[in-house]
Amino acid sequence: MSKPAIALAVFSSVTILTVWQYTEFLNGIAKIVCLALFFIFGIIPLTFKYSYTFQRSMLFLPFVRWPRNVDFDKPEKLGLHGARNFYVTSSKGIRLGAWHILPQSMVKESESTSIPKEEFFEQALSRGQPVVLYMHGNSGSRAGLHRVELYHVLQKLDYHIIAFDYRSYGDSSSVAPSENGVVDDGVCMYNWTKQRTGKAPLFVWGHSLGTGISAHVLAQLTRLQMDVRSEDGQQMYIPKALVLESPFNNLRDEIQDHPLAQFFTWMPWFSAFFLDPVKQNGLVFETDVHVKSIPIPIIILHAEDDAVVPYKLGRKLYHTAVLSRSPADPPVMFAKFDGSHGFGHKYICRSPELPSIVSKFFSDSLKLGNASEGSTPFNHQ
């Protein structure tokens, strides 16, 4: 941070405090306003800059637990039939809570089979129906109501869904999150799922912050696949395709364009107080960098009226991916959802068009591997 910026920040804070303390003509309301301005434009920027804990909390929001009092052992209470709760412990000792939701065609069988529930569910993963590994965004848990709505959509398309909570979320281990930490959690759940799917196609779906996590996970898996085998001797495979719902291109741009940041972007020291510190602490989520090295089909889903992750960041990510990926790589698609529908940041799952978009994208992704012609089955948007 430059000396002029420091001086300006100190001068502004001192001025506000001086006015509040020494001006006898100010009434109670004016004093409250001065104190609020000092807190917003003094305390918050300083705390954010110098407290990694505060940065991490504001990014991941693990303390926001909604809905409350979730019984994760009983997903049926949220209307999820043909689902089970289970836990996976990573090599680093992190316990991750997860749900496995069966395809619609298997629900009745799961309720009448004599096979133990855990055994039936794990065997079902390798029967051939597509499997979607879902990585959610910040706050809440895998029980978030908009997430449950999406599970219903995917279940009706006859897909398996594996939904899990990163460290510090839901009923997973209460360990402070970091980018590398949640990416490790994503790799752990991917490996667990892949080891059980056999030849069944596996897809990854990330939403919001989960798009940054999933892209980082797959970039890491791609690098591992180049070595053919992982450290534990298991062969590594990347999924058939990646869905990025309501994504940002990188965390720096997302912070700068977030609605709450507009209170501070006019400040000359905005970058020094808000953007540079997160990068210094390894919180970057550079999806635009990671998509360059993921050699699978990608589709971006974004609503024009998204007020949390601006639509323009999804378009920016799309253009970066199209221009930066090798011509030999599978295509990157973009599906726009008109702002008049009111889907916003969370409810693309309510679009009547989503099932056909997803099923066609998954189907084309599977055909791509067997295509012998020069053209692909995809149509760019």
Amino acid at 265: T
Instruction: Look up the pTM and report it.
Output: 0.86
Residue 267 belongs to a domain: no
pLDDT tens, residue order, the chain (381 aa):
444 445 445 555 555 555 545 555 556 676 676 666 666 666 777 777 878 888 898 899 998 888 889 999 999 999 999 999 999 999 899 999 999 999 999 999 999 999 999 999 999 999 999 999 999 999 999 999 999 999 999 999 999 999 999 999 999 999 999 999 999 999 999 999 999 998 899 999 999 999 999 999 999 999 887 665 444 444 457 899 999 999 999 999 998 887 777 777 777 778 887 788 888 888 999 999 999 999 999 999 999 999 999 999 999 999 999 999 988 899 999 999 999 999 999 999 999 999 999 999 999 999 986 553 334 455 445
The secondary element (H helix, E strand) that includes residue 107 is helix 107-112
Predicted pLDDT of residue 272: 82
Residue 67 belongs to a domain: no
82 and 36 co-located in one domain? no
Structure token pair of residue 18 = 């001086």
Residue 276 belongs to a domain: no
The secondary element (H helix, E strand) that includes residue 187 is helix 179-197
Residue with the two structure tokens 């364009």:
257
Structure token pair of residue 356 = 């056909």
Residue 278 belongs to a domain: no
35 and 93 co-located in one domain? no
228 and 319 co-located in one domain? yes
Predicted pLDDT of residue 39: 61
Distance CA 349, CA 157 (A): 13
146 and 223 co-located in one domain? yes
3-state secondary structure of 20: helix
Distance CA 169, CA 142 (A): 8
42 and 120 co-located in one domain? no
35 and 154 co-located in one domain? no
Residue 345: CATH number of its domain = 3.40.50.1820
Q: Using CB atoms within 10 Å of the CB of residue 380, give its burial: 0 to 12 exposed, 13 to 18 middle, 19+ buried.
A: exposed
39 and 166 co-located in one domain? no
12 and 79 co-located in one domain? no
Residues involved in catalysis: 208, 306, 345
Q: Residues 5-20, buried b or exposed e (16+ Cβ, 10 A)?
A: beeebeebbeebeeeb
Predicted pLDDT of residue 14: 54
355 and 239 co-located in one domain? yes
Amino acid at 149: E
How distant is the alpha carbon of residue 314 from its chain centre? 13
Helices 3-22 and 28-38, axial angle in degrees (round to 10): 160
> For strand 298-303 and strand 95-101, is the pairing parallel, antiparallel, or unpaired?
unpaired
* Of 60, 83, 100, the domain-final residue: 60
Domains contained in the chain, number: 2
3-state secondary structure of 229: strand
What residues contact 35, with CB distance under 8 A and at least 6 apart? 20
How many residues are given for the chain?
381
Residue 262 belongs to a domain: no
54 and 92 co-located in one domain? no
For residue 41, the enclosing domain spans 3-60
Residue 114 belongs to a domain: yes
323 and 244 co-located in one domain? yes
CB 62 within 8 A of CB 169: yes
Residue 171 belongs to a domain: yes
